[in-house]
Amino acid sequence: MRRIKYLFLLIFALTLPLETWASNVSTETQQTKKRKSTSKKVASKKNANSTAKATETSTPPPAKKKARTPVVRGNEILRLKSKKDSESKLYGYENSGDKYYWWAEAHYMGQGKDQLNQGMETQWVIAPQYTRVSKEFSEGLAAVELKGKVGFIDRSNRFIIPPVFEQQDDLDGFHYGLAAVKKDGKYGFINKKGEFVIPPKFDGAENFGDDYLAVIKVGKKFGCIDLKGDTVVPCDYIAKEMMKNVPVKNKPYREAKNRAKERWEQGYYASVMDPIQKVSEEVNRNIENPNFTEKPGIAAPDGAVSVGDGFYVVTDNNGKQGACDSYGRQIIPAIHENVTYDLTQRLFIVSTKAPGFRFSATGLANTGGGWIIPPVFDKIGAFSATGIAPVAIGDVTGEVNVLGLVNESFLESLLMESSKEKGTFYTQRLIGVLPTCAPAHNNMGIYYAAEQDNLRDAIHHFTVAHNLAPDVEDFKNNMKAAKSTRNNRRWNRVMTGLSIAGAVLTLGSMTYAAAKGVTMDSSSFSSGGSALATSSGGSSYSGGSSSSGNGKCKRCQGSGTCSPKSGTSRKNACHGSGLCGHCNGTGWLAAGGDRADCPQCDRGKCKTCNGSGKCPDCKGTGKG
C-alpha cells in the first residue's frame, strides 16, 4: 500500500505541468502575433541571440557571444583534410578546422545536431571526385589521382600541375619546392611547374623530409639522396626502417643526415634551391589569385554545355543536371533539377530536390563542388559585380552575398511570416538560412506540439531554442512543459499497460480453472489483475462472484471492454483499465464446470437462442 501511495503522488506531480504547458503554448501564441521587428545584425551568432530576446521579451538580456575568426575570400585559412565519401567511394577535402559563416551557424552546437545543420555534417570544400589523394595540402598543393593519372591541385581545386604522371604508392604535396612523381615507370622529383629537377631514374622514391634527405629505392633495396640528387646513403638496405632505426646498421644514414644539415646551413644547396624557390614563388602567386584559371584538359565531355572557366553543365538521361570540367572531374553530381554557373563570381547556383535535402530549393556551391550555403531559397538571381544576388522565399525577397550571408530585413520578414503561419514553410526555411535563429526553433516547437501533437520533435526544437537563448524564459518554460507532458504520457502508458497485463493474467488463470473445473476468484491472484487495476486509478474489485444472470455484461455488451464513451461510469466498471471489472473482459464468470453469467448482465444476448445465433430473431448475431 505504501508503494501504491507513493506511485499516486508521483503521477499527481507529473500531471501538474500539463496546465503550465497549455498556458505556455497559449502565451507563446499570443506573443508571436505581436512580433513587429528584430534587432540588428542577426547574421552573426550574437545577433541571432539578440533577435531571439528582442522578439520574445520586453527587456532583452545580454546576448550570448561566440568569437568569430575573420576570413578572407578563398580557402587560405581553412584546414583541409582528405576524406572518403561513404556512398561514391571517392575522395575529397573537408574543412576540419574552424567553420565560417553558414557553416559556423550550422555547427554552433556541434556536429550531429540535425535541427541546425540541415543534415550536413561534412563541410566539403572540395567535393569527392578523386580516386586517391594526399592526406593534406603541403606548400599549398596536394597530389590527387584522377582516372589513373596523378596531378596537383590547389585549395580552390584548380590543377596547378595537370594529371600527367603515373600512379604511385604514396601521394603527397611539396617539400622544399619538390615532389616525388612517377614517369615511364621511374621516380624523379619535379618543381611546382611540373618540370623534373631530379630526373626519373629510381624504382621508388618519397618526398624530402626535414633531414634534407629523400628515401629512394633501386631494385628492391633502399637508400637516400640529398637535394642535389646525389646518393648519400647507398641502396644496401632491404627496408627503410632498418636503414634509419637499427643502431648497428644506421651509421651511414646518421652521418649523411648530419652532413646534409651542415651543408644546408653553409649554403651548399643554394645553386639548386634558388631556381626551385623562384619557380615556387611564381606558382604561389597563381595559387593566391582567385581569378587564376587552370589550363584546360584534353577534351570537353560528350553532350556537355560549356559555361565558362573550363566548366560544363551535364544532363543525364533523366533530365538531372550536374557540372564537370574538361579533365572529367565530376564537380557537382548530376542529381539536381538545375545547375547554372555565375561567371562574375565563379560559383554555381544549384536547384535541387535530391535525396538528403529537406525540400526543393536553391543553394550556392563553389568551384570545388562544396556548398557555400545549402538549398534553402526558392530562387537565387544573377550576382552583380559587387557579389550580391536577389533571393526569394515564398513572398519574401532579399539579398545574399557570395559568402551565403543575407540582409537583415530579409531575416526580419521571414521571422514575421514564421510567427503568423500555422505550418512550417517559412519557419523551416528561416532555420535553413540562419540555423541559430532561436525564435524560429521555438516557433517550430510550438507547431509540432500544438498542431501535430508531436512531442518528440517539439522537445528537440524547444531545447535548441533554449540552448541558443538560455535567458529567454518562454523558451525554457516551453521546453520544460513539453518534457513534463511527455513524461506524464509515458507514465500513463506504463500504468495502462500494467493494468491490461494484470487483467489478462487474471483472465488466463480463470480460463485454466474453468478447463480444470476449479473454482477461483481474484483472491487467488494477489499480484494480478485486481491489485494492478487499483494502482491505475480505479477502485478495487472482486472478480469472482458466483452470482448469475442473463446475457452479456451490460457495461460492455459482452465485448469484454467497456466503452470509452461511458464517461465516469467507465472506471466503475473497468477501474480505468478498459476491461470490465465484473467479468474480466469475458462476459462470463467461472464456476466449476459450468459458466456463470456476469451478475451485472441482464441484457445483451438474444433470449430466443440464448446467444447461439441460431434463430431468426437475432438474424444470426446472437444479440438481443
Q: What is the DSSP string of 47-76?
A: HHHHHHHHHH-SSPPPPP--------SSST
d(CA 517, CA 209): 92
Tell me what pLDDT residue 556 has. 54
Pick from 381, 318, 301: nearest CA to 349: 381
HSE, side-chain direction, 13 A CA sphere, residue 471: 16
Q: pTM higher than 0.85 for the full model?
A: no
Tell me what pLDDT residue 43 has. 38
pLDDT-derived band at 538 (thresholds 50, 70, 90) equals very low
pLDDT of 473 > 70? The answer is yes
Q: DSSP assignment of 138-157, as one string?
A: BTTBEEEEETTEEEEE-TT-
d(CA 349, CA 372): 10
pLDDT-derived band at 78 (thresholds 50, 70, 90) equals confident
Mean pLDDT for the stretch of residues 365-382: 94
Q: Which of 455-469, 564-578, 600-614 has the lowest mean pLDDT?
A: 564-578
Tell me what pLDDT residue 191 has. 97
Tell me what pLDDT residue 133 has. 97
pLDDT digits (tens, 9 = 90+) for 115-169: 576 667 889 999 999 999 999 999 999 999 999 999 999 999 999 999 999 999 8
pLDDT of 18 > 50? The answer is no
| 448-463 per-residue burial string, b: 16 or more CB within 10 A, e: under 16 | bbbeeeebebbbbbbb
CA distances from 13 to 369, 457, 492 (A): 54, 24, 13
Tell me what pLDDT residue 251 has. 92
pLDDT digits (tens, 9 = 90+) for 406-431: 999 999 999 999 999 988 999 999 99
pLDDT-derived band at 536 (thresholds 50, 70, 90) equals very low
Kind and range of the H or E run holding 29: helix 17-33
Give the largest CA-CA distance in the chain.
Answer: 121
pLDDT digits (tens, 9 = 90+) for 248-272: 788 999 999 999 999 999 999 999 9
pLDDT-derived band at 613 (thresholds 50, 70, 90) equals low
Q: Which of 1-15, 263-277, 414-428, 524-538 has the lowest mean pLDDT?
A: 524-538
Q: Which of 88-97, 115-124, 443-452 has the lowest mean pLDDT?
A: 115-124
Across the chain, mean pLDDT equals 76
31-35 contact pairs (CB < 8 A, 24+)? 31/56, 31/474, 32/419, 32/420, 32/443, 32/446, 33/419, 33/420, 35/415, 35/416, 35/419, 35/439
d(CA 82, CA 71): 21
Tell me what pLDDT residue 602 has. 37
DSSP 338: E
pLDDT of 620 > 70? The answer is no
pLDDT digits (tens, 9 = 90+) for 43-57: 343 343 433 333 333
Tell me what pLDDT residue 219 has. 94
Tell me what pLDDT residue 291 has. 86
Domain boundaries, the chain: 80-288
Q: DSSP assignment of 356-382, as one string?
A: T-SSSEEEEE-TTB-EEEEEEESEE--
pLDDT-derived band at 59 (thresholds 50, 70, 90) equals very low
